[in-house]
Amino acid sequence: MEADLQRLAQAVIDGKRKDAAELTTKLLDAGCNPKDVLEKGLIAGMGVVGARFKAGEFFVPEVLVAARSMKAAMGILKPKLAGADIQPPGTIVLGTVRGDLHDIGKNLVAMMAEGAGFKVVDLGVDVTPEKFIEAAKEHNANLVGLSALLTTTMINIPDVIKAFEKDGQREKVKIIVGGAPLTQEWADKIGADGYAPDAASAVDVCKSLV
Amino acid sequence: MERQFYIDLANKGLRMPIGTDLVLHEKPDAAAIILDGERLGGIIEEAAVRYRTPLAVGLMDLMLEKSAMLEMLGITAGDIPTYHFHEWPGDHLFKKVSGPGAGPFNRQLQAHIDAVAFVSRRASGLIPIGMTIGPFSLMTKLLADPITPVFMAGAGTTAEEDPEVALVEKTLELSTLIILRSVTEQIKAGAKIILIAEPAANRVYFSPKQLEEGADVYERCVMRPNRRIRELLEKRGVDLFFHCCGDLTDSMVRDFASLEPVILSLGSSRKLWEDASLVSPRIVLYGNLPTKKFYSDADAPLEAVKRSTWEIIGKMHAAGHPHILGSECDVLSVPGAESTIREKVDMFMNCTCPTF
């Protein structure tokens, strides 16, 4: 069974969707604990993908196909996990801020965070401050991720932070920010709790904040 | 125009930002101007005059062709920004956007074309430059996830085997058709140069690892469609100004150079003096000050802009490659940071450099 778990991790790393799904089915049919399939197979595989991405050995397309393989496997695994009492390390509400339609960076963070076991609520692009607050409340999120690609839209990030303050929700969530034009200095200036220069680092920041 | 014209501009030390957006947003009614070809043309002229360049560069709005095309297909304006094809609706779309029965351009794309005509008509000595998004970049705006199927295509998956790969191919063809039509109209309006902005043709959308292993997907998805535009320009005697501010490999830069643009504009992630060895000296390199950071005095203090100006000018001089100093992309007007951006643009335009 250990060998199949390693094969499953490798299928995720290689982005082999069909293999990942078949191995997941095989492991579950053989009586493997769903938690082990998740942690030793899928999360382990995505962990390697994240590390290689961070090291510059993998690029965005490799991460996306790996995430897609994990998703295919999760489709099979999820019903079995329902009774397994697995708590995600955190819940992150994620989106690209108002006025910005770019989503590659935000999608990568979502995939990497899911790959690390977080529950991810992806609100998509052009998200208003109100939607972020509403989703954070609804899903009892402890993390909020705000993304912007353009210098002309990054200025909408502080509006979200202010909206959380105004709504009395600021203490309940840690807010992390990211996107090409952003810097640590700017993130500090606007009162964000964390800043990540890339998707793999974003997951590390999430882990450090929960 | 003769290629030598651009080389001479470079040799005379021309500096210029792609600054139309900056000038546009100084006006209180910018949103109305972009729908009015004459007024937009006036802004283009004003930007060229202010920045002392004969090159009158159109507004770099990369949503123009997407909006115009989707309006032709009946998508409501409010849905256009986030609209994606999830499956291919059918080849009848090709006729709807291009060919004898195709719908008219929307107001904004028509104004963009009319602005070219305005600059051309005025005969003020300015060279009207048309502008279009590149076919690959437009395709990426029309799909929710273009990266995965492009990677799959690179791994050998065919359109027959996978509907997502087929969707990429069809959407890329649709994108190419609308761009060819837009470019044709801009040429008819008097454009002497067409600027193709292809920012998505980069290392985010394509895996350098896959390309190094020999995949031809970059050739199929980026180069072939751009060559079709290049051929149109060639036939019509119009020059190519090619722009990509994305993160690139050397091989991608070589590919762009193979289009033989008169000017090649690259983002600030590239060292132009190193790229000089990848690009024919017949192609003027343009850029590439980190203007996307100009809004921030911490990341781009005025003194650093001056140092970067000196560095690029000095190193390009040493490389012996024709070069026009400029921005890494269009310089966007950032609300609240307008004056600091203008100050830095003025700095690189006007600062004196050591003699080389």
A179 and A125 within one domain = yes
CB-CB contact of B21 with B63 (8 Å): no
Q: Is A208 on the interface with B (CB under 8 A)?
A: no
Cβ neighbourhood burial of B227 (10 Å; 0-12, 13-18, 19+)? middle
A71 in the same domain as A96: no
Distance from CA of A90 to the nearest CA of B (A): 26
Q: Which of B84, B108, B91, B242 is nearest to B174 (CA)?
A: B91
DSSP classification of residue B42: H
Indicate the average pLDDT of chain B.
Answer: 95
CA distance to partner chain B, nearest, from residue A151 (Å): 6
Task: State both tokens at A37.
Answer: 């399939």
Residue B355, pLDDT > 70, answer: no
What tens digit of pLDDT does each residue of A121-157 get? 999 989 999 999 999 999 999 999 999 998 889 989 9
Domain ranges for chain B: 3-350
Domain CATH for A71 = 1.10.1240.10
Total domains in the fold of chain A:
2
B292 half-sphere exposure, CB direction, 13 A CA radius: 20
User: Quick one: A116 and A72 in the same domain?
Assistant: no
Q: Is residue A162 part of a domain?
A: yes
DSSP assignments along B182-212, one per residue: HHHHHHHTT-SEEEEE-TTSSTTTS-HHHHH
Same domain, A116 and A187: yes
Domain stop point among A62, A81, A100: A81
Contact, A178 vs A144, CB < 8 A?
no
Residue of A nearest to B299 (CA): A183
With bands split at pLDDT 50, 70 and 90, how would you rate the model's confidence at B99? Answer: confident
**What is the edge-to-edge ordering of all strands in the sheet holding A143-147?**
A119-122, A91-96, A143-147, A174-178, A194-195
Asked whether residue A127 falls in the same domain as residue A190, the answer is yes
Q: Is residue A160 part of a domain?
A: yes
Q: What is the pLDDT of residue A14?
A: 95
Distance (Å, whole) CA B81 – CA B45: 29
Nearest to A41 by CA among A83, A10, A62: A10
Name every residue whose Cβ is closer than 8 Å to that of residue B54 and which is 6 or more positions away in sequence. Answer: B9, B48, B125, B126, B127
CB pairs under 8 A between A and B: 68
Residues A74 and A121 in one domain: no
Fold of B3-350: TIM Barrel (3.20.20)
What is the CA angle A182-A188-A191, rounded to 5? 110
Phi-psi bin for B52: left (phi > 0), alpha (psi -120 to 50), beta? left
Residue A120 sits at φ, ψ, to 5 deg, of -115, 130
Q: In Å, how far is A104's CA from the nearest CA of chain B?
A: 9
Half-sphere exposure (Cβ direction) of B281: Cα atoms closer than 13 Å: 7
How high is the pLDDT of residue B356?
60
Q: Give A-chain residues touching B337 at CB under 8 angstroms.
A: 151
- Which residues of chain B have a CB within 8 Å of the CB of A126? 81-82
Q: Are A65 and A114 in a shared domain?
A: no
The verdict on B30 touching A (C-beta cutoff 8 Å) is no
Is A99 among the domain residues? yes
Residue A10, number of CB atoms within 10 A of its CB: 17
**Do A150 and A171 belong to one domain?**
yes
Say whether both A107 and A64 belong to one domain: no
Q: Quick one: tokens of A26?
A: 């095989």
Q: Do B207 and A124 touch (CB under 8 A)?
A: no
Q: How far apart are CA A161 and CA A129, in angstroms?
A: 8
Do A92 and B241 form a contact (C-beta atoms < 8 A)?
no
Banded model confidence at residue A12, pLDDT cuts 50, 70, 90: very high
Scan residues 120-159 of B and list those with Cβ closer than 8 Å to A. Answer: 145, 147-148, 150-152, 154
Residues of chain B neighbouring A185 (CB-CB closer than 8 A):
296, 298-299
pTM to 2 decimal places: 0.91
End position of a domain, from candidates A49, A81, A113: A81
Q: Is A114 in the same domain as A201?
A: yes
Q: Are residues A73 and A111 in the same domain?
A: no
Q: Say if A18 is an interface residue toward chain B (CB within 8 Å).
A: no
Q: Say which residue the tokens 């310089």 belong to.
A: B331
Q: What is the pLDDT of residues B134-182, one digit of tens each?
A: 999 999 999 988 999 999 999 999 999 999 999 999 999 999 999 999 9
Residue of chain A minimizing CA distance to B204: A60
Residues A166 and A125 both lie in one domain: yes
Q: What is the pLDDT of residues B254-292, one digit of tens each?
A: 999 999 999 999 999 999 999 999 999 999 999 999 999
| Per-residue pLDDT at B296 exceeds 90 | no
**Per the domain annotation, does A86 fall within a domain?**
no
Contact criterion met (CB below 8 Å) for B34 and B40: yes
Q: Which of A151, A154, A195 to mutate to test the interface with B (most CBs of B within 10 A)?
A: A151
Question: Taking CB atoms and an 8 Å limit, are A61 and B333 in contact across chains?
Answer: no
* A62–B151 C-beta distance less than 8 A: yes
Classify residue A202: in a domain, yes or no: yes
The predicted pLDDT at position B240 comes to 98
Burial of B151 (0-12, 13-18, 19+ CB in 10 A): buried
Q: Please spell the DSSP secondary structure of B105-142, one letter per residue.
A: P-HHHHHHHHHHHHHHHHTSS-EEEEEEE-HHHHHHHH
What are the φ and ψ backbone dihedral angles of A91, each rounded to 5 degrees? -115, 125
Give the end of a domain, one of A81, A100, A128. Answer: A81
Whether A96 and A125 have beta carbons less than 8 Å apart is answered as yes
Q: Does A126 contact chain B (CB < 8 Å)?
A: yes
Rounded alpha-carbon distances, angstroms, from residue B245 to A56, B137, B209, B324: 20, 12, 20, 16
Q: Which of A59, A8, A131 is nearest to B147 (CA)?
A: A59
Domain that residue A15 falls in = 2-81
**The pLDDT of residue A156:** 94
pLDDT for the residue numbered A200: 80
